Structure 1
Amino acid sequence: MKVKLYILLIISALFIQFACQKETTSDNGTTNLRIRLTDNPFNATEVNVDIREVKVNFNDDSTGWQSLSTNTGIYNLLGLQNGVDTLLASGNVPTGTLKEIRFVLGSDNSIKIDTVLYPLTIPSGSESGLKIKVNKHLNATLDSLLIDFDAALSIMQTGNGDYKLKPVLKIK
């Protein structure tokens, strides 16, 4: 009986020791970051955004931009609702605090209302891109960010009938 108790105590001690260890960083100080996209419901048929590149920045200034492997293409944001999302970009990045994400956009952006397709203007979308402040510490294991696009708050119709996108984004 004493032997069984002794073995049980040793196993319990080993379990507690390994369960309480802090997460260690990877050997090379990087993590695999995934950036995903989803949308809140909106009263249009399509909101198409032409994504050309996704970059991340770990510096407080604009010198540290790093490109991720981006799944380029035109994304209908309204197809990414009710728990549906898509993987936009991924790549190995340094562990530490992610300061910003930048989406560089192409010119093939549009909004479809009923059956009519309208151009969607995105100020500085193809030049400096859409920047999102993040300030999230990334772990040494796989890390994933979900960017929730709110189309209802982001799209404005101008007085002349044009549509502009001023993104309202939330990071989850």
Structure 2
Amino acid sequence: MKKNHLLAIAFSFAIVGFTACSKDDNDSPGTTNLRVNMTDGPIDELDSVYIDVREVRVKMGSDTMNIADSSWYNLTTTAGIYDLLSYQNGVDTLIGTGPVPTGYVKEIRLILGNNNSVVDSFGVAHPLTIPSGSESGLKIKVNKRLNASLDSLLIDFDAALSIRNEGASGYKLRPVIKLK
């Protein structure tokens, strides 16, 4: 009887020990509500720069070095055609928001539609070609650690350096972007 009692006590301690040392499946690294905004710097040669934003995607990882643990997250996107030149001098616009795991933002991709154009200083509209914009998207390397509950990234286009009139080939966007 005493042997069974000691065995029951030992078994109870073993269960408590295993439970205390086990990983709780509900432990998560936490989530951050990420907001992605867009703004632009001035350009004299153009009256408007229209960008057709369809989707905002974010690549998240747990640290700055390990690419293997990265995953893509689609943010809730405010899809539409944005005139970049309307967002200058401290004015910006929200283009995507949503929960992502707290960690490092490694890359942002803006998936663009086909309705991209510029309006020159004479009021004439021209198509704006964005290489791989509608396929794999505009790729923006980031590598920023997010704060715990709420964080934001500001995509600051430099239209003056990004847009080129290539003559017969038309206007092309080769984005020069600062991330703030």
Matching residue of 2:43: 42
- Among residues 57, 73, 76, which one is paired with 2:80 in the alignment? 73
| Structure 2: tracts of 5 or more residues without a match | 1-26, 62-66
- Structure-2 change in CA distance of 1:99 and 1:117 (3 Å): same
Matching residue of 2:58: 56
Whole-angstrom CA distance in 2 between matches of 1:28 and 1:156: 43
Q: Which has the larger radius of gyration?
A: 2
Instruction: Report how many residues are paired.
Output: 147
Whole-angstrom CA distance in 2 between matches of 1:102 and 1:141: 22
Whole-angstrom CA distance in 2 between matches of 1:161 and 1:99: 33
Deviations 1:60-107 (A, max 9, x none): 269621100000000000000001100010000000111000000000
> What is the TM-score with the length of structure 2 in the denominator?
0.78
Q: CA RMSD in A?
A: 1.7
Q: Are 1:128 and 2:136 an aligned pair?
A: yes
| Structure 1: tracts of 5 or more residues without a match | 1-25
Whole-angstrom CA distance in 2 between matches of 1:154 and 1:53: 20
- More displaced 10-residue stretch of structure 1: 137-146 or 104-113: 137-146
Deviation at 1:155, TM superposition (A): 0.3
Deviation at 1:148, TM superposition (A): 0.5
Whole-angstrom CA distance in 2 between matches of 1:27 and 1:138: 15
Whole-angstrom CA distance in 1 between matches of 2:172 and 2:101: 35
Deviations 1:19-42 (A, max 9, x none): xxxxxxx97610100000010011
Contact 2:29 2:102 in 1 (8 A): no
> What is the TM-score with the length of structure 1 in the denominator?
0.81
SS of residue in 2 equivalent to 1:58: strand
**Identity value in percent:** 59
Whole-angstrom CA distance in 1 between matches of 2:32 and 2:77: 17
Q: Are 1:93 and 2:100 an aligned pair?
A: yes
Deviation at 1:56, TM superposition (A): 0.2
SS of residue in 1 equivalent to 2:85: helix
Deviations 1:117-142 (A, max 9, x none): 00000000000000100000001121
Whole-angstrom CA distance in 2 between matches of 1:75 and 1:61: 34
